[in-house]
Structure 1
Amino acid sequence: MANLQKIEVAASRPYPVFLGVRLEDLGEYLQTRQTLGSQILVITQPVIAELHGERLAEGLKDFKVDIINVPEGEGEKSLDRLSSLTSEAVRLGVDRSTLVVALGGGVIGDLAGFFASVFMRGIRFVQVPTTLLAQVDSSIGGKVAVNHPAGKNLLGAFYPPLAVWTDFSVLASLPWNEVQNGLAETVKHALIADADLFAFLEQHQEQIKEREQGIWREMVTRSVAVKVKIVSQDEREAGIRALLNLGHSFGHALETEMEFQGISHGQGVALGIVAAAGLAQARGFITEAEVERIVQLLKSFGLKTEVYDKSAANLLHLMEADKKNQGGRKVLILPKGIGQAVVVKDCNDEEILSAWEKVIR
């Protein structure tokens, strides 16, 4: 256990992100946490449980393990699902010493983490991300949430996990549309903080699409390093952490408008990155050639760079619910070249409408 690769996240409760570990070894790590009880509650989805549940259970054989399966879909991040989780947890005898294991992608990580943050005023949990999106982004940073009809992730908390346990081998079974979600966030990380990573993605497009193991390991590790560095400097999004929302203000509005149906988070973020890049170009923050590099990289991975038959005015209205907004002003993250980004607090509605119109067909 001493030789495990890990990156420490500085937080109100610091925690490690373990990289390249095995699902089967999680139990051995947890045995070192002397204050844990004997019960573990695994919150997952049926497909994930079928693919990876047996391996996880092998390592947890010395614990009492209960499993709650949640249906798939972003719509499950709801107060109704939170209520049903609570009822089931009470039935299973979950108490303050129980550890929650979030086995799945971003939806499970957000939902299980938020459940852990509020059940009996907070019980511990471990993130075990099984998608590329979750491994490079959503499992790291301690943000947990559920959605509300008025907007995505409006009800949430900053609640650090006990640890993040990242097994790269689980990515082999991912369908390509799930891979795309993680690639969108990886491109975002490169744009805001690592120009060399952006060039790496450009240079290794084919190996990434062919899932070359060594290339994927380097891509994930470098993307995780960007996320960890930023959240360690700004746990509660009071400053630099806001940069991680590049593309999200636009993307979340599109996801909300479509009621989280027919569009993935990654596709929404990719479209949002293009819209933000267009606004940044209009402000002189980024060149036309750099915008074209961004668009071409996203396209090479099959990510969304335009949307059809949408109302720019309606999408602008939905952006009013964005959590970054301050005093009625829309706050946006814009790329500044490739490898940097800035927080912009004076974007007017005409600029944002123009950005939307550039990506609506």
Structure 2
Amino acid sequence: MNLPEEIEVAAKQSYPVYLGAALEELGDYLQSLPDKIQHILVISHKKVSDLYLERLVKGLEDYRVDLLTVPEGEEEKSLERLSRLTTAALDCGADRKTLVIALGGGVIGDLAGFFASAFMRGIRFLQVPTTLLAQVDSSIGGKVAVNHPAGKNILGAFYPPLAVWTDFSTLNSLPWNEVENGLAESIKHALIDDEDLFAFFETQADSIRQRDPAIWREMVTRSTSIKIRIVSQDEREQGIRRLLNLGHTFGHALETEMNYRGVTHGQGVSIGIVAASYLANAKGSLTLTEVERIKQLLQRYDLPTSIQKQDPQTLLRRMQTDKKNQGGRKILVLPQGIGQAVVSEDCTDEEILAAWHKIIVENN
């Protein structure tokens, strides 16, 4: 088999990320593993499995394959859904030698990965990301989780996959709102680590919106490489990896408050990036000109930079349950110019409220 481009994620349990892989060739990779597999559980959404399962199983003829589908939506990342998956897996005869394949976007990757981490104290799983968000971000780094009413991803684990198998062709079917989710994360990567990539998003906006294959491949590869490099330096999020949370503390509070309806993850991150940028400006690490440059880029891709009719005090309370907080202090990531970011542990509630007020509007 001619393997696609491979980048290793250096970790306690290292694993490869294959870029430009073909769904049909996954079976060849599995055959190369020293510990043989007999049973595979594919966890996916019905829409995704309708599009891609046939291609995937072409390379899995030597295995017993069962499909478990879950409804779409962030709210499906729940303990109730985890329990239903467990019952369905047992009905399929799953055991400690079963391999879980997460076929889909970020919700599927999180849910299937957390299921694999807990089922019979942990079974193998493999990420097959089919959305831009999953390919550039959520499939890499070993984080798996489900939500709790108190907050997003409160229940989770670090559980690396066997591999990440990225087929760029799955991006062709994505509606633009799904593309937006991935673009928000990719722009975040550029903002925290690569000013040249930020400029790439500015100059190549028309080609990206027209889905130019070569430009998309470059965009995914460069964004993925940033995530891999950062995760490889800090697997357990004790240092530099915390920078990847830019926009997420604000965004997760908004998603939780809205019960994951009316705002997608990418939209929440986009709004959160702008809120963090205003906060950075107030603390002197970002100019207003840079804040406007960030807003203009997000708007160029139809990503929101404000939100309607939310209560800043309520959102501030939501931020109190963020898992990144320490000792009652809110830990936030702030841009420091374009292409750099810093972890801030000294943001006051008054400063955070002022940032919320900057991005909350009464009417469009």
Q: TM-score w.r.t. structure 2 length?
A: 0.98
The equivalent of 1:344 in structure 2 is: 344
Deviation at 1:59, TM superposition (A): 1.0
Deviation at 1:11, TM superposition (A): 1.0
The equivalent of 2:274 in structure 1 is: 274
The equivalent of 1:314 in structure 2 is: 314
Residues 95 and 120 in structure 1, CA contact (< 8 A), matched pair in contact too: yes
Amino acid aligned to 2:257: E
Residues 99 and 124 in structure 2, CA contact (< 8 A), matched pair in contact too: yes
Deviation at 1:2, TM superposition (A): 5.0
Amino acid aligned to 2:196: D
The equivalent of 2:53 in structure 1 is: 53
Aligned ranges 1:1-361 → 2 under 5 Å = 1=1, 3-361=3-361
Residues 194 and 339 in structure 2, CA contact (< 8 A), matched pair in contact too: yes
Counterparts of 2:118 and 2:291, CA distance in 1: 42
Find the residue that maps to 2:325 and give its secondary structure.
coil
Counterparts of 1:183 and 1:3, CA distance in 2: 27
Counterparts of 1:67 and 1:328, CA distance in 2: 43
Find the residue that maps to 2:236 and give its secondary structure.
coil
Residues 279 and 355 in structure 1, CA contact (< 8 A), matched pair in contact too: yes
Q: TM-score w.r.t. structure 1 length?
A: 0.99
Residues 100 and 126 in structure 1, CA contact (< 8 A), matched pair in contact too: yes
Residues 3 and 21 in structure 2, CA contact (< 8 A), matched pair in contact too: no
Counterparts of 1:110 and 1:36, CA distance in 2: 25
Find the residue that maps to 1:157 and give its secondary structure.
strand
Deviations 1:272-315 (A, max 9, x none): 00000000011110111111110000000000100111100100
Residues 102 and 126 in structure 1, CA contact (< 8 A), matched pair in contact too: yes
Deviates more, 1:36-45 or 1:273-282: 36-45
Cα RMSD (Å) of the superposition? Answer: 0.6
5+ long unaligned stretches in structure 2: none
Counterparts of 1:329 and 1:287, CA distance in 2: 25
Amino acid aligned to 1:64: R
Deviation at 1:3, TM superposition (A): 4.3
Residues 36 and 99 in structure 1, CA contact (< 8 A), matched pair in contact too: no
Find the residue that maps to 2:308 and give its secondary structure.
coil
Counterparts of 2:87 and 2:183, CA distance in 1: 36
Amino acid aligned to 1:149: P
Counterparts of 1:244 and 1:36, CA distance in 2: 35
Deviates more, 1:85-94 or 1:133-142: 85-94
Amino acid aligned to 2:253: A
Q: List structure 1 runs of 4+ shifted beyond 3 angstroms.
A: none
Amino acid aligned to 1:249: T
5+ long unaligned stretches in structure 1: none
Amino acid aligned to 2:304: K
Deviation at 1:12, TM superposition (A): 1.4
Counterparts of 2:4 and 2:186, CA distance in 1: 23
Counterparts of 1:44 and 1:36, CA distance in 2: 23
Amino acid aligned to 1:102: A
How many residues are treated as equivalent by the alignment?
Answer: 361
Residues 82 and 115 in structure 1, CA contact (< 8 A), matched pair in contact too: yes
Amino acid aligned to 1:254: L
Deviation at 1:262, TM superposition (A): 1.1
